[in-house]
A and B are shown apart, each in its own frame.
Chain A
């Protein structure tokens, strides 16, 4: 996984006393309320009310989270208020939210995005929680939950792999065997076959600006390997490198098999094409399966996943984007002790079970979730994961946030618009990386 400490050393940190010398410090009154975080007073019984902040308003995950919160209330008698925010809005406001009066426990992501806020002192150290429930998790999850200071600030909820999703019934109708599609050539000829039958081979949407980052991640990892991908995102390799150009050349080979309105559709448009059987495959994180389940069990159980095909034999299919979602406790929350108690419950098998009992599909990070109870689709996800040696989070979780969203997203969109501009786009990407301010 990307280690942001390397990012930090990318540039010499601006020294100098200029820091507060602007007189802007006088604006203090404008800043979000100062924090009077009442630390968890040891030993005292945890009492409510506790506020829980959900990063979703979608139906399926909401069912799951409400079940978790209700199970906690039922067990402890502590009142929990459930506050939901649409995920984009939640992300955009997170800095302000955490500096203001945040919910005690909130839903967030592992890796760089958690470490960034932990560094700023906005998250509560959860090392004690990990001491109690840590044995329920594999080491890799603990690493993903650990801040730059070596303490844990995150409790994982679930993970999902990014892979080629398809419908078993469609493959059967087309006479295709998914497991035999392992190389790039086999993949392209499969797409060709779909195209000749009037199908979209490789459904994609990138209106949101982030969706296609997953495609870039995987083609880069397949073409140039895990190490190059990680180094590129950390700024140790350059975007003008011929190897990056090759990624876009490979990607370009997929364009004829894509829907023509990539920039019109968001992720749910692309998965909708699969649901409607207009597209043969879609590269996406498996989380969207919940939508298929909401549609019907039949659609859900028709869903399957295989790893993205091999491009360069040197790297095989050794890397996968598998982001981890979970929870943090906000330092400025009104009830830190309550937040910690709730997050411990969420990470403990008991809480995980409450979420699983809703029947909403989830591949938990908790070792206690019996994989023999996985449904067929979840087992396939596990198999896809098992094949990978290297796990990345996702482009916008693996590189600087002021680069991913404002720079890479638009660059990929302009590439979709005009693939011939690739050299210009890559030069601009590199120039914009170099123009980024030093990390303080």
Chain B
């Protein structure tokens, strides 16, 4: 925005603004800032504050100072926290090692205009336009004991294949569902980046005798750095904030504990306690920490 004038020009610039400009600018800057503060920062800071209290969420007069009580409870007395952490880590690894690379691969193939690429592109992209909740509903219909797949297999509910109730595999069932959407998302982001690459780069590489893999590794991938950063950040955020699909399938029961569910379970309903706020703060720190570290390192390299 034009307010980011450099110091030496500031004086002259400022004079250039008419009164009307100032009002207009004030609106443009002020309203989003106010909304941002009111809807993001104040609730976030309030959540952090409340995580150090005991409160059922109803009357302000009932707020009691808890110190680290909620955190101690989570870390030392709540086995579900570690189950959830484990599932979120699996989620993160799966997305990083399987889903995101697959999205990149698909984008690359489609960009190479393999036969039927338009069909593949729309097929893979379609799940992305569906909200995560809808994704959950669709797959719930498919996989539950009286669902489509079990119907197809001719199984009744008493001997149905257990997709959601077998706790040894259900995280992977959910991973397949989540990937169904995530792959298309990553593919689209990457595809947009690939389209912007100057084709002469590829031609030059081809003339120099580079193989397809060498071209990708040494030319395309480094050129795509801005997109890569976005994908890393998105993958991290998507895996940590995971909630919708699991909530649609399991509700708040412990079928598949993940941090997002624990936040909700402890902050909503009659069982509300600020333990939920503490979970939210933990989730926040887990999400923001690695992202800041990663971005800081990336930008430092850029400056060099």
Give me the interface of A with B, judged by CB distance under 8 Å.
14, 16, 18-25, 27-31, 88, 91-95, 99, 113, 116, 120-122, 200, 207-210, 259-265, 269, 272-273, 276, 278-279, 400-406, 409-410, 413-414, 417, 428, 431-432, 434-438, 440
Contact = CB atoms under 8 A, between A and B. Distances in A.
B17 to A, nearest CB: 32
Interface stretch (B23-31, B56-64, B86-94, B189-197): B56-64
Given A264-B165, A431-B77, A269 B268 contact: no
B266 A207 contact: no
Contact of A95 (B43, B52, B57, B274): B57
Interface residues of B, number: 62
A99 B269 contact: no
B158 A273 contact: yes
Given A209-B251, A264-B164, A22 B157 contact: no
A309 B286 CA distance: 50
Contacts of B164: 207, 263-264
Nearest to A264: B165
B65 A264 contact: no
A93 B268 contact: yes
B33 interface: no
B146 A269 contact: yes
A435 B55 CA distance: 15
Contact of B78 (A99, A405, A414, A432): A432
B144 to A, nearest CB: 8
Given A210-B253, A261-B157, A278-B156, 20 more contacts: A22-B53, A24-B50, A27-B46, A93-B268, A93-B269, A94-B269, A99-B58, A120-B56, A207-B250, A207-B253, A279-B158, A402-B273, A402-B275, A409-B254, A410-B80, A413-B255, A428-B77, A428-B79, A432-B78, A434-B77
Interface of B: 38, 42-43, 46, 49-50, 52-66, 69-70, 72-73, 76-80, 144-146, 156-160, 162-167, 250-255, 257, 264-266, 268-275
B246 to A, nearest CB: 13
B85 to A, nearest CB: 15
B58 A95 contact: yes
A365 to B, nearest CB: 22
Given A209-B254, A402-B266, A120 B66 contact: no
B61 A20 contact: yes
B53 A440 contact: no
Residue among B63, B156, B275 with the highest chain A CB neighbour number at 10 A: B63
Contact of B162 (A116, A264, A402): A264
A406 B66 CA distance: 20
Contacts of B268: 92-93, 95
Given A93-B268, A410-B80, A438 B145 contact: no
A410 B253 contact: yes
A121 B59 contact: yes
A211 to B, nearest CB: 9
Contacts of A122: 58
A18 B272 contact: no
B73 A435 contact: yes
Given A262-B165, A276-B156, A91 B254 contact: no
A334 B271 CA distance: 26
B157 A438 contact: no
Given A19-B61, A27-B46, A91-B269, A264 B251 contact: no
A157 to B, nearest CB: 20
B145 A269 contact: yes
B21 to A, nearest CB: 31
Query: Which 5 residue pairs spanning A and B have beta carbons closest together?
Result: A209-B253, A264-B165, A18-B65, A410-B254, A263-B165
A116 to B, nearest CB: 6
Contact of A264 (B42, B60, B70, B160): B160
Contacts of B78: 432, 435
A413 B257 CA distance: 12
B158 A261 contact: yes
Nearest to A210: B253
B167 A417 contact: yes
Contact of B253 (A95, A259, A413): A413
Contact of B69 (A264, A400, A437): A437
Contacts of B52: 22
29 contacts: A19-B61, A19-B64, A20-B63, A22-B50, A22-B65, A27-B42, A30-B43, A95-B268, A95-B269, A120-B59, A209-B251, A209-B254, A259-B158, A261-B145, A263-B167, A263-B255, A264-B145, A264-B164, A265-B157, A273-B158, A278-B158, A401-B269, A402-B273, A405-B252, A405-B265, A414-B254, A432-B77, A437-B273, A437-B275
A417 B169 CA distance: 13
A153 to B, nearest CB: 15
A413 B43 contact: no
B161 to A, nearest CB: 9
B63 A116 contact: no
Contact of A24 (B63, B72, B163): B63
Nearest to A428: B79
B168 to A, nearest CB: 9
Contact of B66 (A27, A94, A417, A437): A437
A49 to B, nearest CB: 27
B165 A261 contact: yes
Contacts of A434: 77
B270 A91 contact: yes
Contacts of B274: 437
A22 to B, nearest CB: 5
A269 B157 contact: yes
B58 A30 contact: no
Residue among A29, A209, A403 with the highest chain B CB neighbour number at 10 A: A209
Nearest to A417: B167
Contacts of B60: 20, 25, 28, 31
A77 B272 CA distance: 40
B254 to A, nearest CB: 3
Contact of A401 (B158, B160, B271): B271
Contacts of A261: 145, 157-158, 160, 162, 165
A195 to B, nearest CB: 13
Given A273-B158, A413-B254, A437-B69, A406 B271 contact: yes
B117 to A, nearest CB: 40
A93 B57 CA distance: 12
A88 B264 CA distance: 13
